[in-house]
Amino acid sequence: MNARSPKDAPKNATRRGVVGALGASLLAGSATKAMAQPSMGFAPPPSGLGGRPFPNLLRPLANGPRKFGYAVVGLGKYAINQILPAFAECQHARLTALVSGDATKARRIGKQYGISESNLYSYSDFDKIAQNPDVDAVYIILPNALHADFAVRAFRAGKHVMCEKPMATSVEDCQRMIDAGKRANKELMIGYRCHFDPITNKAISLARSGAIGKPQIITTDNNDLGADTTDPTTHWRLTRALSGGGSLMDLGIYGVNGSRYMMNDDPIEVRAMIAPNSSPVFSQVEDIITWQFRYRSGGIAHGSSSFTTYSTTRFCLQGDKGTLLMDPATSYWSNRVSLCKSGDIETWSTPMFTIDALNQFSAQLDHLPISIAKGTRVLATGEEGMQDVRLLQSIYKAAHTGRAVATDWSDWRKTI
Ligand code: NDP
């Protein structure tokens, strides 16, 4: 959806992403601060949930004798425009198989990338991938509701799994995926590409230096006017059974994930509101939605997402000593971070529309084999993806009931 090629992208085109890594470090410095007592009788989540690992630039692993092979499942816009071309820049990963419901398209794309016909699969013969030694991992880039079943099938086939966001459309499906990975003893990683974006990493190091003091308010807006939102009968993003929801599932998830990381904490209370839909196109899923999180630390996040307001990906983190603004925050090709403090503004950005050796897509693809080789956990685990899905569900519940929702932490400890 709206995954433009660099050539046709407008000058300040922005795109979706997760700024989780940014928040990881932004709040690391404040993790030991005294926690405010939660109100409304909600039990606080167990401590120590924050502090996700600093992503660094995850490149330096000696090249092994053989690159790690991915099968990409679902040849849609994101796969074709972003992921497949990014293999060219990978140091540790290569594309070895394609899985598609469209055999002609798979053959055409297979030829472009030098994939032999024997490594092209349909959804029905996907399970035969178990016998293919060229495939180490399966990268699922399908409509959201199909992620869980394909992840479970991939684990059954003995493969590692990279899965696009949102991880699934229910917490139960997320758990199913995590359990299947554990049974297979294979890694599960969620495709939160901004963990690997150099500007996000710059923002992380700025925040880790205490540049804005204690973060207290986050505002984040993630909107995409160019979304494929014209016909609910043909587009899965508008069909609840395939998407699980509207702009929140597709775009708002980045604000949800990023704000958790920025606060280095998980929310204890969720509130939300959905604007009445102005068009029958949104008969099954929401268009405009806003939400608020309250954290143990006393910090507050406010987020919005929509399919019908001007394309924006923005984070603003306000502390007691300054403000950090990322705008665009989650673009494919260029992001920008500004530190505003004592009347001064310093800005860092990457050149527009260049894919250099450290592009976020290739770094994400390389991260899975690097983690497997080192025996370390991936940055964006299934548990992290599930926590976001849990919060997305809480936002919907808050919006539909008009009440604050306490977050459920009962099984968090069990899963990590
Ligand atoms: P598209 O609609 O462009 O592609 C989805 C592909 O899934 C289709 O082309 C088709 O591939 C396959 N598919 C299988 N079953 C169905 C079905 N019932 N209906 C529609 N398609 C089906 O979507 P995107 O590529 O934009 O999104 C795919 C996933 O990637 C989503 O989970 C989305 O959230 C995520 N995404 C992540 C982004 C990021 O920045 N991390 C950006 C964009 C998307 P085929 O014809 O080969 O069978």
Same domain assignment for residues 162 and 251: no
Q: What is the CATH number of the domain that holds 223?
A: 3.30.360.10
Whether 73 is in a domain gets the answer yes
Our answer on whether the CB atom of 237 is closer than 6 Å to any ligand 1 atom is no
Q: Which stretch of 105-119, 283-297, 337-351, 391-405 has the lowest confidence by average pLDDT?
A: 337-351
Instruction: Verify that 54 and 188 share a domain, yes or no.
Output: yes
Looking at the structure, do residues 170 and 76 belong to the same domain, yes or no?
Answer: yes
Residues 44 and 186 in one domain: yes
- Enclosing H/E stretch for 394: helix 382-401
One domain, residues 309 and 397: yes
CA distance 256 to 27: 15
User: 364: closest CA among 152, 220, 198?
Assistant: 198
293 plus 407 within the same structural domain? yes
- Give the confidence band of 255 by pLDDT, cuts at 50, 70, 90: very high
The reply to whether 243 and 337 lie within a common domain is: yes
- The count of structural domains within the chain is 2
Task: Name the residue of 78, 194, 360, 379 whose CB sits within 8 Å of the most ligand 1 atoms, as the mutation to test its pocket.
Answer: 78
Span 73-110, pLDDT tens digits: 999 999 998 899 889 888 899 999 999 999 999 999 99
Beta strands in 260-335 (DSSP E): 267-274, 289-295, 300-306, 312-319, 323-326
> Within this chain, do residues 85 and 187 fall inside the same structural domain, yes or no?
yes
Residue 167 and residue 26 in one domain: yes
Residues 101 and 189 placed together within one structural domain of the fold:
yes
Range of 55's domain? 14-193
Is residue 35 predicted with pLDDT exceeding 60?
no
Residue 269 pLDDT grade (very low, low, confident, very high; cuts 50, 70, 90): very high
Q: Which one is predicted more confidently, 353 or 257?
A: 257
Does a structural domain hold residue 377? no
Domain boundary among the residues 193, 218, 242 is at 193
Q: What is the pLDDT of residue 32?
A: 21
Does residue 373 lie within any of the structural domains?
Answer: no
Say if 360 falls within a structural domain. no
- Whether residue 216 lies inside any domain: the answer is yes
- For ligand 1, say whether the CB of 83 is within 6 Å of any of its atoms: no
Distance from Cα 9 to the centre of ligand 1, integer Å = 20
Q: Among 132, 161, 193, identify where a domain stops.
A: 193
Q: What is the pTM of this model?
A: 0.85
Q: At what angle do helices 253-263 and 382-401 cross, to 10 degrees?
A: 110
Residue 371 lies in a domain: no
Among the residue ranges 202-206, 226-230, 271-275, the one predicted with the least confidence is 226-230
Q: Is the CB of 328 under 6 A from ligand 1?
A: no
The enclosing H or E element of 384 equals helix 382-401
